[in-house]
Chains A and B, each alone.
Chain A
Amino acid sequence: MSANATPEGTTAEGDTLPAVRLRGLHKAFGQNEVLRGIDLDIARGEVVCILGPSGSGKSTLLRCVNLLETPTAGQVFIGDTEVTAPDTDIDWIRARIGMVFQQFNLFPHLTVEENLTIAQRVVLGRGGAEATDTALAMLRRVGLEEKRGEYPARLSGGQQQRVAIARALSMGPEAMLFDEATSALDPELVGEVLDVMRELAEEGMTMLVVTHEIGFAREVADRVVFMDGGVIVEQGPPSEVLVAPREERTQRFLQRVLDR
């Protein structure tokens, strides 16, 4: 890894601990070893894009960070808290880490506004007015304030994903995980979601982004991590990994993706 691979976060407030640290992470589903020893640090304010062929373990890696998947071995730290320690209050950790899913996963029985307020009220114990104010501020941020009363089914895929991002932001997260956030979208709707993600990155949000959007990675990522076969094959700034990859596997992957 080159020296400038983990730049200082723009929001670091004297706290030099990385936002997320993964140590020797393994994950197996039965006989199928999906992660085979991952070490990764994400600094505060850093935007890390994870690329790799399907089945390379990148989504599983992301899901291990907030323990949607339980690692078979290894440790996950959020700030100074070890997430994988048995006595950790995982709900409290998850409330501090936002996650955006490929399939949006908005709550279909709740309005857009309720989607944004429910966890604030239930998890953070915020009052109705405060939760609503926060929700509206976040909806404004993704440009969908006028949709507050709609049900998710009435929104386009791009709008649903922007609401999902706003929902995660309503919790005031320290970091955001994006699991192929644009893969389920029609091509013409990808841009509006990437725009929101780009703005978030510019505001200094710590982001771990699993994506197939090479252009987004090149433009926004501080660091690109290329995974294959459950290990990190290569990582570094996009100008190196995406332009002049050292590893053959990375070269072949980029060739395939760019040929499409």
Chain B
Amino acid sequence: MYAATAAVALIVVFGIDWARLQDKMLRPDLVADQFPEIVTQAAKNTLIFTAFGFSGGLALGLVVALMRLSPSRPYRWFAAVYTDVLRGLPALLVLIFIAFGLPIALDVRIPGTYGRGSLALAIVSSAYIAEVIRAGIEAVPRGQMEAARSLGMSYPQAMRRIILPQAFRIIIPPMTNELVLLLKDTALISVIGVTPATKELTRFGRDGVNENANATPLVVAGLLYLVLTIPMTRLAGYLERRAKVSR
């Protein structure tokens, strides 16, 4: 076992042309070339798509979750089909469909790359977020709704004032995870047309690769993703542990 590991290690150390590797993947001058645009433009755009996509996904997801829990059967069915279909399809397919398919089919133009990209991301993430919110609402004890209703609150009042505030506290950790997933999914936007001003990290890195015949821009983009996602993942873990303790 150790012999095999050592053999692999030797091959890696001596079999790989490290100088060439560094030249093609992490060339210092190309690394320097990426800045500051990769932060001021690409990372900024990634965060903009994430913010719009997540806000939209949250709003849509809340509506779908409430429909899923509605006493009205058509609402429940719609919500079930919506979540099943969107979670069952590749996000990339949905994105292309919304960016290119729908505008052709309906003869409408969703204005701007920000608009198209964010809308597509919002719709994809809303299906997952809806399920998280539904689980959160169902985790609030039944007696809470009964107590609120017995005081004369209407269903929407009780939802808004009593149930949702408690549900959102419960779902902060899984919601943070959804946020991280969405941030990574912004990479998919690189397949729909973007203007130079709306390039996000992946597209920025890819264009850099094409211009320089060198992987360095993509590696730098990858590192920037990690700079963004690792703190968020850690935060989610921390919140999860804290939620467990307080229960």
Contact = CB atoms under 8 A, between A and B. Distances in A.
Q: Do A and B come from one complex?
A: yes
Interface of A: 66, 68, 91-92, 94-99, 101, 103, 105-109, 118-119, 122-124, 164, 167-168, 171
B144 interface: yes
A206 B61 CA distance: 45
A167 B162 CA distance: 14
Contact of B143 (A103, A118, A171): A103
B147, B149, B165: residue with the most chain A Cβ atoms closer than 10 Å? B147
A167 B144 CA distance: 13
B151 A171 contact: yes
B153 A91 contact: yes
Q: Is the interface of B mostly helix, strand, loop or mixed?
A: helix
Given A118-B161, A122-B157, A122-B161, A105 B144 contact: yes
Contacts of A171: 151-152
A95 B152 contact: yes
Contacts of B154: 91
Given A108-B166, A122-B157, A123-B157, A101 B151 contact: no
6 contacts: A68-B146, A68-B150, A91-B153, A105-B141, A107-B166, A122-B157
A95 B143 contact: no
A103 B150 CA distance: 14
B22 to A, nearest CB: 54
B169 interface: yes
Contacts of A107: 144, 147-148, 162, 166
A66 B149 CA distance: 9
Nearest to A96: B152
Contacts of B150: 66, 68, 94, 97-99, 101, 168
B146 A119 contact: no
A123 B151 contact: yes
Nearest to A171: B151
Q: Which 9 A-B pairs have the closest CB atoms?
A: A95-B152, A105-B147, A119-B151, A105-B143, A99-B150, A123-B152, A94-B152, A91-B152, A109-B165
B169 A119 contact: no
A24 to B, nearest CB: 24
Nearest to B158: A122
A109 B169 contact: yes
A109 B148 CA distance: 13
A68 B143 CA distance: 11
A101 B146 contact: yes
Contact of A94 (B149, B161, B165, B166): B149
A66 B151 CA distance: 10
A105 B140 CA distance: 11
Contact of A92 (B148, B149, B152): B152
Nearest to B160: A122
A105 B153 contact: no
Interface in B133-190: 141, 143-144, 146-154, 157, 161-162, 165-166, 169
Contacts of B143: 101, 103, 105
